[in-house]
Structure 1
Amino acid sequence: MSTRSATKIGPPRAGRFRLPQEGEASAAAPLVVGAYLRSLRRSRGMNGTDAAWMIRRSAATLSRMETGLLHRVADAVELLEYYGIEDAVSLAAVEDLLQEPQRHRLFDPAPGWLDRLRACQRQAENMVIYSAFTIPDLARIPTYPADALTRRLRADIPVRLGPRERLTVDNGEGITLLLDKLVLGRLLSEPSVMAAQLAHLRQLAGSERGPRVLIVPVTAPVIPPAALTYAMTLAGHYLIVEEGPDSVVYYTGEEAAERRRLLQDALALGVPLSVSTAVSDQAPTGGAR
């Protein structure tokens, strides 16, 4: 007996999600949940035909569901149960996300939020990562210290999906790291760590297949984001993501427009790492911690 049955919260709501009209941006919830479903399916080594058969749909319908054209809430819940997510809280959380009345803004603090974020990161066709506080996880060296608050808040979160593969000189195409200059000074008290981290960033940026790395000067007339921010193309749709230590917010359409403009301004003002005087001025000369 599944947890859902045992807790007697009833069958999934027979809701339907309105598909976007012609010219309308995709709603955030089905785009995020679709990426989540695809990542879960792939993590189990399943093909689309077999998964679609389990919910009595065609492979083409499943593909549309996984790329943001999810129509029936019950289909998503059935797939989650088939992929091994049977606890009532997690299933109800996805139902609630798909019932969210704000189509182009989705606040997700619910169980599974980190898996859904990772699913979007893993499936993004291209991505800009903008940080004003710390080196993003994907570009960190092992000795770079994790944020204590984030580590504590996420210590007990059950995860089913691993993070996107860390950036290397061979897998960074389509990714831009946009770092505020202050990020480079965060570890000046630990010169050996910062020297190694800067060397890693230079190696990434210097590779033809590595990510682009840009530094936003402190004097740049832009307001840095208060949260780690991603701009990504997911299933052909533009998505802005703001990641906090224990939740995430997604934006599409008009809700993403202002944040997109700010990001574009920062990109235009960013200096390539290879020629940044900010980096050469801040680069530690080494030494013991």
Structure 2
Amino acid sequence: MSTGGFGSADGRTTQGSKQGVVAGSTVPRRQLGRHLRELRQECGMSIAELAKLVERSAATIQRLETGTAERIRLWDIEELCRVLDADETMTEGLKGLAQQGNTESWWHEYGDLIPNDFDVYIGLESAADQLTSFQEIVPGLFQTPRYAHTLISAARPHGPAPEVARRVEMRMRRQRMVTRKTRPVSVDVILDESVLHRVVGDRRTMAEQLRRLADIGTLPNVKIRILPYSAGVPLGDLTGPYITLDFAPTKGRQEPSVVYVENYTGNMYLERPESVDRYRSAHASLGRVALDEQASRNLLRRAAKEH
């Protein structure tokens, strides 16, 4: 997925030493906390039990899990991972998150501190209450198995078939957050019209995928609109694909919204309110010239028949 102008690494964080500390509450720290909490819960431990095993206070563990700790030491993360039986990829991923600096916008470069197989975005997505995006390919949450297989195979041309199949299955499982009966995530996506015409796989794959988009767009929590070619360039510039993630309050805490911009070599996580607001404004502008939901479904079904 192209970002259309976010190739600069000016927001990249610096690597800390093993004895280094980081301060503040940012995306990497929040993600670190989520993973630590999930690992602890999978082990059936309370915060107090874990604190005793790693010889830290319960308050320290709680601050780590909520992303509010003022100091994060790598040896603490290593010990927590050892006690919680985290595998090597998870351990290296969490250590990488702990080493990220305190910046308002975080550039995560693939393979830089955090292993390629450790997906930071997925954890963020699973915690979101609402996703708002503009896309130039079908979003992973709406992809059919055949469409997803084509993309994943192209991205990993030398990957073994079982690994490709595993990744496709993981993508299909992610989609449950949209279709589940209890508190499904709300999704508002604007698709560039090129999505309907850019052939991924074969014609059969495209027809199936476009019908899937038209069908899922009827769900009350899903809003799919097409930005037609006739709209031109509404903003006078190209935003590139983006996803704004909003979170429901948890125990009286409101987690800040994040804009996720994916690049071919890394990802940008924008947290400054001014940046988030600018993307919200851009989405509103695109929405004013996009087709409405019914017209978009009609266009999707017509395109499916043409394929």
TM-score norm. by structure 1 comes to 0.71
Aligned residues: 263
Deviations 1:222-271 (A, max 9, x none): 34444x42211246211111224553221211573444443443344443
Deviation at 1:183, TM superposition (A): 1.0
Pairing 1:109-148 to 2, within 5 Å after superposition:
109=110, 110-111=114-115, 114-132=118-136, 134-144=137-147, 145-146=150-151
State the distance in 1 between where 2:78 and 2:51 align. 13
Q: Which amino acid aligns with 1:82?
A: V
1:124–1:233 CA contact under 8 A, matched in 2? yes
1:215 alignment counterpart: 226
**Is the contact made by 1:181 and 1:278 (CA closer than 8 Å) also made in structure 2?**
no
Contact 2:93 2:118 in 1 (8 A): no
Residue 138 of structure 1: how far off its partner (Å): 1.4
Match of 1:181 in 2: 193
Query: Can you list the C-alpha shifts for 1:74-110, whole angstroms capped at 9, x where unaligned?
Result: 24443333333464x8756644544444511222223
Q: Which residue of 2 aligns with 1:6?
A: none
* Contact in 2 for aligned 1:192/1:286 (Cα 8 Å): no
Maintained 8 Å contact 1:139/1:166: yes
The two structures, once aligned, show a CA RMSD in angstroms of: 3.8
Matching of residues 131-280 of structure 1 within 5 Å: 131-132=135-136, 134-144=137-147, 145-146=150-151, 149-152=154-157, 162=170, 165-167=174-176, 169-170=179-180, 172-187=184-199, 190-208=202-220, 210-218=221-229, 219=231, 220-222=233-235, 223-226=237-240, 228-234=241-247, 236-245=255-264, 247-253=266-272, 256-257=275-276, 258-276=278-296, 279=299
Q: Residues 129 and 185 of structure 2 are in contact (CA less than 8 Å); yes or no, is this contact kept in structure 1?
A: no
DSSP 3-state at the match of 1:143: helix
* 2:4 aligned residue: none
Distance apart, 1:221 and its partner CA: 0.5
- The answer to whether 1:82 aligns with 2:102 is no
* Structure 2 residue runs without a partner (length 5+): 1-16, 248-253
CA deviation after TM superposition for structure 1 residue 33, in Å: 2.4
Aligned match for 2:18, one of 7, 13, 18: 13
8 Å CA contact 1:129, 1:176 repeated in 2: yes
The aligned counterpart of 1:73 is 72
Amino acid at match of 1:117: Y
Change over 3 Å in CA distance of 1:68–1:126 after alignment to 2: farther
SS of 2:69's partner is coil
Secondary structure (helix, strand or coil) at the match of 2:156 reads helix
C-alpha change, 1:97 and 1:188, in structure 2 (3 Å) is closer
Tell me how far apart the structure 1 counterparts of residues 213 and 45 of structure 2 sit (CA, whole Å). Answer: 37
In 1: Cα distance, 2:242 partner to 2:38 partner? 21
Counterpart-to-counterpart distance in 2, 1:102 and 1:260: 24
Shift of 1:53: 4.3
Gaps of 5+ in 1: 1-11, 20-25
- Equivalent AA in structure 1 for residue 66 of structure 2: T
For residues 30 and 211 of structure 1, what CA distance do their matches in structure 2 show? 30
Please give the TM-score of this superposition, normalised by the length of structure 2: 0.68
3-state secondary structure, aligned to 1:32: helix
Aligned CA distance change for structure 1 residues 57 and 129 (closer, same or farther; 3 Å): farther
1:106 corresponds to which letter in structure 2? W
SS at match of 1:35: helix
